[in-house]
Amino acid sequence: MPRYYTRACNFYYGLQSNFLVRKKKTLPLHNISEISFDQIEIITRKSKKTIFVNQINKLPYLLKKKINFDLKKITSKKKNFCNFKFNANPNLMGVLNLTPDSFSDGGKFNKKDKAIKQAINLFNAGAKLIDVGGESTRPGSKSITNKLEWSRINKILKILSKKIPLSLDTRKSYIMKKGIQTGVKLINDVSGLEYDLETVNVLKYYNTPFVLQHSKGSPEYMQNNPTYKNELLDIYDFFEKKLNYLRSIGINHNKIIIDPGIGFGKNLKHNMNLINNISIFHSLGFPILVGNSRKRFIKDISKNNDSKSRIGGTLASAIYLMTQGVQILRVHDVNEIMQGIKVYKEIIKN
């Protein structure tokens, strides 16, 4: 039997979704009636087939068993954690880079007073968590020492952790440990826990929630002609293998977030395929985070209409991701994205 993947598709959102769920025409995503679907795409390495959910019982026994197993994970309710509430509204994670060289805002907030003010502004605008980073992982960047990274974030973490919920964007076990001891609620490792093999032991010891991100290669070289057999399925397999490994070493909690890593070892085609088919990752059974904010794909698509802020492209992709059930969006412009989401949701009410 070939390897099958299940992607929920043909989503409905808002009042229409509520109505269709009540009529048993659609299945609710994560047991949330405001977002539902009535089709699934059955994918192998060689084929794709889309069927309505009411046709599943007509499938061969083993395939039907596999699809129903995936559907259970797709439709099951997700428990809230780290100030995230998993409902039809996407949680916004605000970005705070305390670096001189991050791709979009390097040098803007790496002074204490500016950093604290920005973090509180992002939180007050609607971010559920502020993601603090002291090392740039933009394409072409090089790793820095533990000492330098910790010196950039140490004092600000201590101040902010007493005021607002924080996550920590780091690849290093030393920084993770220090951050958790300072009060950080979530670890966000862009390397998928592969840069520093000691990170899994730190996360296991402290039982800390974390983001598991896919990244192909190190930031210094990741954009040098990245290739995949099938980026969507290759990345899905990466997550499945990594999750099985984490379970095998005793990390059994479900406070894990999946991030396909837009722009981390991906070209425009890869990024667009991932965003377009993002709902495949619901069958892993964990909340999905996407970092779409100000990314290079916006420039690649908009060309002459590109701007430094790229708010338009960020908002357009954010709304699409919301309607595909993505639970967390990591963004720089929290106020503007929150504004756009509110307006979109009010429009579709009428």
21, 33 Cβ separation under 8 angstroms: yes
Q: Is 330 a catalytic residue?
A: yes
Sign of the torsion angle spanned by Cα atoms 57, 59, 62, 63? negative
Tell me whether strands 32-43 and 5-13 are parallel, antiparallel or unpaired: antiparallel
Q: Is 242 a catalytic residue?
A: no
92, 337 Cβ separation under 8 angstroms: yes
Cβ count within 10 A of residue 237: 14
Question: What DSSP state is assigned to residue 187?
Answer: E
Which of 255, 295, 296, 310 is flagged as catalytic? 295
Cβ count within 10 A of residue 332: 23
- Calpha distance 172→164 (Å, rounded): 23
Element at 269 (helix H, strand E)? helix 268-276
Cα–Cα distances (Å) from 269 to 178, 263, 275, 279, 297, in that order, read 38, 11, 10, 17, 9
- Calpha distance 200→251 (Å, rounded): 9
Q: Which amino acid appears at position 48 of this protein? A: K
Catalytic positions, please? 295, 330
